[in-house]
Structure 1
Amino acid sequence: MSDLVMPPGSGVAAASEDSTRKSRRPVRFGLATRVLVLITAFVMTAAAMIYVPAISTFRDNWLRTRLSAAYTAALVLDIAPQTMVPPELSRQLLNSVGARIIVLSKHGTKRILAASELPRKVDEVYDLREPAFLASPGAFATLTAPPGRFITVLGEAPMGGESIGITMEEAPLTKAMRAYSLRLLVMTLIMSAVVATLATVAIHFMVLRPVRRLTTSIVDFGADPENASRIIIPSCGNHEIAYAEEELAIMQDSLASELKEKKHLAALGLAVAKINHDMRNMLASAQLISDRLANIDDPLVQRLAPKLVATLDRAIRFCQATLTYGRAVDEPPKPARFPMRALVADVMEMVGLEAPGDIEFVNAVSADFEIVADREQMFRVLMNLIRNGVEAVDGARVEGHGPGRIRVHGWLNNGEAHIEVSDTGPGVPVGARAQLFTPFSSSRAGGSGLGLVIAADLVRSNGGNIMLAVTDIGERGAKFRIVLPQAVPVGGS
């Protein structure tokens, strides 16, 4: 059969696909690298979110330290009379504070406790008595400030004063904040490297390696899907990837089995096509011989010769269709109204020629029962069903169950034609009922498993369905029921 045989050039296509797969560029930016980069980026982002309030807190603490030194100096300078403070002591106190001037506000007046070279202007004033935000914009202004700027810092004053203020250069604060930022950056990079490495190693063993095992199995199986050794062996873990491995193993096993079956069917199809080619020639010769039989005056020959000719014509057309289309494609049904009893009689007579003589054929179809369907296809349906019944009854007879019977009955019900073919054989085993209409699944020794499949396909093409009917209590054998919707054919009555 041509649709099952590998088309020309498919081997070249497969080889080209293999070479394309081998020539793919290696992965340079794999999952492990991406995870490492992402975790590092996440840690750096978290550190940046921490850095914003941290640098503001560092600036405030640094300024408060200077105010604490100024607070101590103010206690000394405020107690001693201004004329009794030596200039050297005043410079030392200013140097310890790191300020150019210390001013104390007390009782509504401002007093300069110590002063050195005064700046020309003050660029910024920070009042630490007010609550500070975690992310102060002034911190970043200080961090990026150019040299030569001066700031005034105000804080709580000692001894009931209103405030104490110092004026100082901003450069030492900027330098300290930049050094702190550098230390924080180095610590962040070290922490990022450690966390990213540990997380990457953990993810590698817990996720990436199982995923890589999955992808490797998929690629290897795709290269040779018929090789059962390339089916993944599940790790039997209790996680999602282990479940994925189990499902992949089931899928690969099913696909490998199906591919083997398809390959077998392809070889079988080629063999059938060759056999059909020769069978058609033989049947053509048999048809010529059967034509001569029609000239014999024997009554039995005169009765059987037309049936033989019709059977040979049917077989030749089927072989020709197989060779023409490359597969057993049935022609679309040509529904027409015909009496069912005569068709059943023809089928029983044909099957009876090869059936054992002690099998009884019962045609229980009434003479006025007519259906609308393709007569030729219904002939094949009944032929397969009755022949299956004969084989089942014959097997039961061999086992000592006595002579058997094949019975065909038909009736109309709610615009549908019901046709039942029953036998007194051993019946259908329970385990075989699920695969009853599956090709090559015969439960009988020597059976091809195609008779019921062909019958089901033909019934469906006529718009009906076929099923295994439930037998009555105490009734032996199997009973198949065909249900056909009855529509008036085009051009029919």
Structure 2
Amino acid sequence: MHIQSEEAESTAAQGCRPSRFAGLSGKLLWLTVICIMLAEVLFFFPSVANMRLRWLNDKLNAAAAAAIVIDGLQPVELPRYLQKETLEATGTKAIVLRKDGTARLLAMSGEMPNSVDQQYDLSDVPLMTAIGDALDTLVFGGHRIIRVYGPVQDSATTVEILMKDERLRRSMLIYSRNVFLISVMICLFTGILIFFALNSILIRPIRRLTRSIQSFSGDPEDPRHIFVPDEGHDELSVAGRHLAAMQGQLQKTLKQQKNLAALGLAVSKINHDMRNILASAQLMSDRLVGVDDPVVKNFAPKLLRTIDRAVGYTTEVLSYGKANESEPRRKRLKLHDLVHEVRDMLAIEPQSGIEFVMDIAPDLELDADSEQLFRVIHNLCRNAVQALTAPGRTPPEENRITVAAHRTGSVVSIIVDDTGPGMPAKARQNLFEAFRGAARSGGTGLGLAIARELILAHGGTIALVEKPSAGTRFRIEIPDRPVSLDDYRIRSVREN
């Protein structure tokens, strides 16, 4: 079964792994090809325009050379067959020479066109004009008669030629095809080089990181799945070292959590059984109180307090072992009545000399979960009773527990104060931490940890307050829930 599961995980990992050309390297390859093609397109327009100008200049220079020779034969007129051969050699229909303010038709074919479709001056052609003319020829040319003229070298003599643009367009198409083929070859060659370079430098390390993350997420407890980083100083090497450190730390944390979970389950079971045993012992100790024996009456209260502490300890451990406390079911309640229940539940013995003082207005209300708030205040008051009745402690003139409260705006502040010995320094350092923030010997610190969790669930705060005299003082602040406009209107209607 284990081998089959490993094969299934391997198959699933391979299925999730992208192919070579569909992954990041393939995307980089296509991106490189597209970028080079765009660059070639931007280069193509000036290039084809320059090619067209060179082609026309070559035709104009050939006609100029023939015109100079013909012009040197004056006043002899060039025979018709020589004119025809000259025009065929230069690829034109007519050659005109403008010199000293006069124009002379040097050669002309028998089929002279009636009109000219386009005229081009090659003496000074701007780049954008040349590009526009080149595109015009490629798209609309091939059957038009064009007139091309320009100076002969740097002289004032000008040569004009009439010709069809069919050959010009054909040459431009051949040139465009060659540029396209060369561009494709450059794109493929450059793209392949970049593909293999990036695949070796970038993609392969990223794939190693990805495979390590996949394998580690499948079985984070296996040390073999921890990433082995490269010895480098680039970003990927640094990321690999951080990933390895994070995986190692996470593996240790998971191991600790697993051990703590097993320990917590065992402790919960032990505490559950112990609580049942202590409940039986508590029933038997209650019967001992009624025995008419001085020795029994002397030790029975101490036995009861010891058993009560043990029961309270097991209750706290079981309560803290829950995954999460339930959400507060908040409602408006009178704090005076709740604290009165806490005082009755504490059942402070008269011979202890502890005075329980409530400085709370009878009509003071707050928005809270009554059960959870009872647990918090009862826990703080119980800790105060235990501190005031600690063995070996010399009682002061006043043994007093004070619970006071007042409202400021939408926040109710509750003070739980006692005149005991105060919080030890070690407990202050680890306050509200389970099993570390115990204020007395043998304590667990679970009560304060649970109290803080419950108050935070209400959106409030709980803190230890410094006081000039001896003792411990906690302050709890609980804000009211914000009231929506709809709830306010419904409440107003009900009140009216």
TM-score (norm 1): 0.68
| CA spacing shift, 1:250–1:453, aligned 2, 3 Å | farther
| CA spacing shift, 1:85–1:159, aligned 2, 3 Å | farther
- For the 8 Å contact 1:129–1:155, the answer to whether it is kept is yes
Query: Alignment partner for residue 64 of structure 2, among 71, 90, 94?
Result: 71
Tell me the residue number matched to 1:186. Answer: 181
The answer to whether the aligner puts 1:27 opposite 2:18 as a matched pair is: yes
Tell me the residue number matched to 2:409. Answer: none
Residue ranges of structure 2 left out of the alignment (5+ in a row): 330-334, 362-369, 407-413, 480-496
| CA spacing shift, 1:437–1:159, aligned 2, 3 Å | closer
| CA spacing shift, 1:413–1:285, aligned 2, 3 Å | closer
1:244-393 equivalent positions in 2, closer than 5 A: 244-298=239-293, 299-300=297-298, 303-304=301-302, 307=305, 314=312, 335-337=338-340, 380-381=379-380
- For the 8 Å contact 1:467–1:482, the answer to whether it is kept is yes
Give deviations 1:50-85, integer Å, cap 9, x for gaps.
100110111011101111111122212123225353
Tell me the residue number matched to 1:218. Answer: 213
| CA spacing shift, 1:84–1:465, aligned 2, 3 Å | closer
What SS class does the counterpart of residue 160 from structure 2 fall into? strand
Tell me the residue number matched to 1:483. Answer: 475
The answer to whether the aligner puts 1:113 opposite 2:106 as a matched pair is: yes
Tell me the residue number matched to 2:134. Answer: 139
Distance 1:440 1:250 in 2: 29
Distance 2:328 2:136 in 1: 88
| CA spacing shift, 1:111–1:161, aligned 2, 3 Å | farther
- For the 8 Å contact 2:93–2:163, the answer to whether it is kept is yes
Give deviations 1:191-224, integer Å, cap 9, x for gaps.
2223223333333333322322222222111111
What SS class does the counterpart of residue 475 from structure 2 fall into? strand
- For the 8 Å contact 2:436–2:444, the answer to whether it is kept is no
Tell me the residue number matched to 2:224. Answer: 229
Tell me the residue number matched to 2:462. Answer: 465
Letter in 1 for 2:45: V
Letter in 2 for 1:211: I
The answer to whether the aligner puts 1:128 opposite 2:122 as a matched pair is: yes
- For the 8 Å contact 2:356–2:401, the answer to whether it is kept is no
- For the 8 Å contact 1:36–1:196, the answer to whether it is kept is yes
Distance 1:55 1:174 in 2: 11
What SS class does the counterpart of residue 118 from structure 1 fall into? coil
Q: CA deviation at 1:484?
A: 4.1
Letter in 1 for 2:164: E
The answer to whether the aligner puts 1:57 opposite 2:60 as a matched pair is: no
Q: Highest relative contact order (Cα 8 Å, sep 6+), 1 or 2?
A: 1
Letter in 2 for 1:295: G
Tell me the residue number matched to 1:196. Answer: 191
Distance 2:168 2:93 in 1: 14
| CA spacing shift, 1:55–1:326, aligned 2, 3 Å | closer
Give deviations 1:69-107, integer Å, cap 9, x for gaps.
111222121232253534454344334422221112345
TM-score (norm 2): 0.68
Residue ranges of structure 1 left out of the alignment (5+ in a row): 1-10, 350-362, 395-402, 488-493
Of all paired residues, the percent bearing the same amino acid is 27
| CA spacing shift, 1:438–1:256, aligned 2, 3 Å | farther
Letter in 2 for 1:175: R
- For the 8 Å contact 1:105–1:162, the answer to whether it is kept is yes
Distance 2:327 2:102 in 1: 115
| CA spacing shift, 1:182–1:329, aligned 2, 3 Å | closer
